Amino acid sequence: MRIKLNVTGIVQGVGFRPFIYRMAVRNGLTGYVRNRGDAGVEVLLEGEAEKIHRFMRDLAVQKPPLAQIEKINRIELSGKKEHKHFTIIKSSQEAETSGSIIPPDIAICNKCLKELRDPKDPRFEYFFITCTDCGPRFTIIERLPYDRENTTMREFPMCGFCQTEYEDPLNRRFHAQTVACPTCGPKAYLTTNTGELVQTKDPVRLAGKLLSEGNILAVRGYGGFHIASSTMLDQPLLRLRSTKHRQEKPFAIMAKNLQAVKGFAEVGSKEREFLTSPARPIVLLNKSPSYNLSRLVAPHLHNVGVMLPYTGLHYMLFDKVSDEAFVMTSANPANQPIVKDNEEALKILGGTVDYFLFHNRKIAHRCDDSVMRVNGSCQVFLRRSRGYAPAPIRLKNKSKRCVVGLGGELNNTSCVLLEDKAFISQHIGDVENIETQNFLQEATSHLQRLTNFHAETVACDLHPKFNTTMLAKEMSQEDGLGLVQVQHHHAHAAALMAEHGLDEIIAVTCDGYGYGSDGEAWGGEILNCALGSSEFTRLGHLEAQPLLGGDLASRYPIRVAAGMLQKARVNVENWLIQNSAHLPHGETEAKLILEQLKKGNGVETTSCGRVLDAVAAVLGICFERSYEGEPAMKLESLALAGKDIMGLEPILQGDVLDTTCLIEAIYRNLGKVSAADLARSAHVYLAKGLAALAIHGANEKSVKNVGFSGGAACNQILVQQMWETIEAAGLQFFVHQAVPAGDGGVSFGQAVVAGFSKF
């Protein structure tokens, strides 16, 4: 009997061919296995029917740990036996849109970690030790199929020892493309900030010592550079904050091990699961009472972003020091993508760091760390990138057409939608300039090449001036693609609906800003939408509030607060003058704001983010947004320590939730009720009020599914309060689990609207 199998899914770069080889040999079959140009694997089997049957039975229940078998297409062949043995043969370039994909980067496995520490092992203390089950994938691959010559490992010909392992079917590194050792593999080296080599036999551990002593280093990893420093000493952190112009933005840290994390943060079982998973994301953890790291790591926040080492290099940084954790933050200059190349790093980061820890393997594709948070029993992605991209999101139905979604503007990703799979790119960043726009284009074309995908339609935001919108229009014209513009919050709602396989949803979508269908600034919306329709209904929203000075108002929450207080008819003049020191131009600016207030007729917004900002300003905890979400994040941290003692009942004016009464209540109780309790009450008011609008809409439309999306859906208090209220009304509540709740999920939502709707 002779059969040919075409296996699709995540089957390249995960030890699938060696696995097939062993199984074929074990069952006494001949033939071959090879990679295909579309990330799938082709198998030819020859032998007795009984043996092939046994092989197929094994294949149904076994697989290498990282493989995901999507489909096995079986063809019976006629003709005579052609093969004497079973072999792994040269890859074919044959390609169709199979929906297969190469895996994300994978953290060092336990077997490699053991070898890293074994003085008898030839890869003892080799910083880039990997095997079939671990190591970089997405960041080193230039083209398919996943063969060494198609990756940046091509520049490191294997030594005799590595070659022997590579060719030994019984070895863990049989056909592992990243196999390397100290003799033949990439090298690490340390330089000063001007690129002068520091002579040492042990650059990695010397780097650890330098960090411990208070130096700032740029450390090159799989997907780009990290800026690293001590978490114990204030001095390097202060220096880093002043040169990086990051006054307060929290730094992510890398802890030595799980035990070390428990010394300064609270780790629940779900959090532990993510921290130690092969994806190794940054997990936001609550600081514990014994938190003893510098307060400059994550100022004024109750939590801190922590990850565990994911390469041998990371583990070794901690070998010669007593530090439990180092700052490890993405090295990206303001509004630019993470730095990945050595020369570029010297030029851009030389003024920030004292030393560089380089390695000499090219990074084919940059990839930032992923960031997530656990809310009760659910996880939410703040950023879905390394360890996850480009693994697809599976959908319940097949899309009508192939779509590429270009996302919005901030925290962007792109998305390729192909039948029932959506491939979301790595984190791109804020597409406000040419550098990030180039990165977006590169990442999107790479995703299309990897999936062998030909777009029919391009989807983008409704905002006419976004770079992504203009790019989509260009693509549409040049390549003759259909163009679908999707309202920002509609995209959020569609993302939530598709992620959970729902046909219709009432979605509460809250964030900082989205261009509304009426051209106004939206951000606190109750939408009704259904899969298959390009339309949606806006069922309700937050009260529109003045946005004095437009973009300035998002930067200085005091401006939004002033507008709201004026509507609440409190003495806003006094309040503004008292707080004018928090405005860049002091009293002069305060007076100008007052004049604008009197005139009225300015721009307005229904944004939930701006209301939280205003509450933060009135409570005096944040007057300037130096990083995205800062006032709201600080407000949440404060609120977690408080109780809802105000017990404000939501006031609805038709389909609008009143927020003026909220700011008034906060203002009038300043000094009488603790700031933490007021912060808590503000959260509860908004969550209950938005839920009430959603419940009303759900009853009116007879829809049972209510969800919460948008950046504000990362807020633990809002999510929990809304969840309770929605479920108490007998409805089902949904939040994002696999797709980012914030703008990183917008490209996916756009693709869903464009892919499933009738046009």
Residues near Zn ion (CB under 5 A) are 109, 112, 131, 133-134, 159, 162, 181, 183-184
Give dist(CA 103, CA 450) in Å, integer.
Answer: 11
CB-based contact 2:81 (threshold 8 Å) = yes
CB of 370 to Zn ion, least distance (A): 20
CB of 112 to Zn ion, least distance (A): 3
Residue whose CB is less far from Zn ion, 18 or 392: 18
Q: Which is nearer to Zn ion, 181 or 527 (CB)?
A: 181
Q: At its nearest, how many Å lie between Zn ion and the CB of residue 365?
A: 21
Q: Which residue's CB is nearer to Zn ion, number 167 or number 551?
A: 167
Q: Are 451 and 101 in contact (CB under 8 A)?
A: yes
* Alpha-carbon span 642 to 144, nearest angstrom: 54
114 or 347: whose CB is closer to Zn ion?
Answer: 114
Cβ count within 10 A of residue 474: 11
- Contact criterion met (CB below 8 Å) for 568 and 663: yes
CB 357 within 8 A of CB 460: no
Q: What's the CA gap between 750 and 759, in Å, rounded?
A: 14
CB atoms within 10 A of CB 588: 11
Question: Least separation, in Å, of the C-beta of 217 and Zn ion?
Answer: 26
Are 326 and 313 in contact by the 8 Å Cβ rule? The answer is: no
Closest CB to Zn ion among 110 and 702? 110
The Cα 741–Cα 713 span in angstroms is: 6
Q: How would you label 15-52 residue by residue, b for 16+ Cβ within 10 Å and e otherwise?
A: bbbbbbbebbeebebbbbbbbbbbbbbbbbbbbeeebb
As measured in angstroms, the least distance from the Cβ of 177 to Zn ion is 13
CB-based contact 336:429 (threshold 8 Å): yes
Judged by DSSP in three states, 536 sits in: strand
Q: Which residue, 112 or 450, is less far from Zn ion as judged by CB?
A: 112
CB of 147 to Zn ion, least distance (A): 18
CB 522, CB 489: distance < 8 Å: yes
Cβ closest to Zn ion, residue 181 vs residue 218: 181
For residue 736, which phi and psi values (nearest 5 degrees)?
-70, 145
Minimum distance from CB of 90 to Zn ion (Å)?
22
Name every residue whose Cβ is closer than 8 Å to that of residue 321 and which is 6 or more positions away in sequence: 208, 209, 211, 212
Minimum CB separation of residue 41 from Zn ion in Å reads 21
Q: 178 vs 451, which CB is nearer to Zn ion? A: 178
Instruction: Name which of 128 and 358 has its Cβ closer to Zn ion.
Output: 128
For Zn ion, the closer CB: 89 or 184: 184
d(CA 222, CA 501): 34
User: Minimum distance between the CB of residue 162 and Zn ion, rounded to whole angstroms?
Assistant: 3
Task: Pick between residue 157 and residue 586 the one whose CB is nearest to Zn ion.
Answer: 157
The DSSP 8-state label assigned to residue 249 in this structure reads: P
Report long-range pairs for 46-53 (Cβ below 8 Å, ≥24 apart).
46/1, 46/2, 46/81, 46/82, 46/83, 47/1, 48/1, 49/1, 51/27, 52/1, 52/3, 52/27
Which is nearest to 332 in space by CA: 245, 390, 412, 247? 245
Euclidean distance between CA atoms 53 and 48, whole angstroms: 9
Nearest-approach distance from CB 113 to Zn ion, in angstroms: 8
Which H or E run contains 346?
A: helix 342-349
CB of 200 to Zn ion, least distance (A): 22
Q: Residue 135 or residue 337: which is nearer to Zn ion going by CB?
A: 135
Instruction: Return all residues near 331 (Cβ < 8 A) that are at least 6 apart.
Output: 218, 224, 225, 226, 227, 338, 339, 345, 349
Q: Which CB atom, from 114 or from 295, has the smaller least distance to Zn ion?
A: 114
Write down the least CB distance from residue 122 to Zn ion, Å.
Answer: 8
Least gap, CB of 282 to Zn ion (angstroms):
22
Q: Please, what is the end-to-end C-alpha distance for the chain in angstroms?
A: 49
Tell me the residue length of the chain: 759
8-state DSSP, 711: G
Say whether 33 sits in a helix, a strand or coil.
strand
Is 401 within 8 Å of 456 (Cβ atoms)? yes
Nearer to Zn ion, 176 or 583 (CB): 176
At closest approach, how far in Å is the CB of 165 from Zn ion? 8
| Residues linked to residue 93 through DSSP beta bridges, in sequence order | none
